């Protein structure tokens, strides 16, 4: 298994656990994620800001960064 596959499997396992913790209820999962995002939004913003200011950083986002951006967009849509 490649490193990328390992990361993806860890993410999937984390999501399975979260779903089980929420009783596999989508509404509870969304509420949990919104709470989590509210709690850590400042840290995420600080990370992204520092990442964007890193000297020599290429404009291409890594696969993990693109995945996080898609995840954030999904959460925004679910919150509507």
Q: SS3 letters for the chain? A: CCHHHHHHHHHHHHHHHHHHHCCCCHHHHHHHHHHHHHHHHHHHHHHHHHHHCCCCCCCCCCHHHHHHHHHHHHHHHHHC
What is the rounded distance in angstroms from the CA atom of residue 40 to the CA atom of residue 35?
A: 9
Mean pLDDT, the chain, integer? 81
Structure tokens at 72: 């954030």
- pLDDT reading at 40 higher than 70: yes
In the chain, what percentage of residues exceed pLDDT 90?
Answer: 22
Total count of domains within the chain: 1
Compute φ and ψ for 59, nearest 5 degrees. -75, -15
- In the prediction, which pLDDT does 33 show? 86
Question: Which residue has tokens 């919104």?
Answer: 34
Q: What is the pLDDT of residues 41-67, one digit of tens each?
A: 888 888 877 776 666 555 556 666 777
The boundaries of the domain holding residue 73 are: 3-79
Q: Do residues 32 and 22 make contact, with C-beta atoms less than 8 angstroms apart?
A: yes
């Amino acid at each position: 298994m490649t490193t990328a596959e390992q990361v993806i499997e860890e993410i999937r396992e984390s999501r399975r656990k979260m779903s089980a913790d929420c009783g596999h209820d989508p509404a509870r999962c969304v509420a949990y994620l919104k709470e989590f995002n509210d709690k850590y939004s400042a840290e995420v913003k600080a990370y992204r800001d520092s990442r964007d200011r890193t000297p020599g950083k290429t404009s291409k986002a890594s696969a993990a960064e693109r995945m996080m951006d898609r995840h954030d967009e999904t959460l925004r849509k679910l919150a509507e």
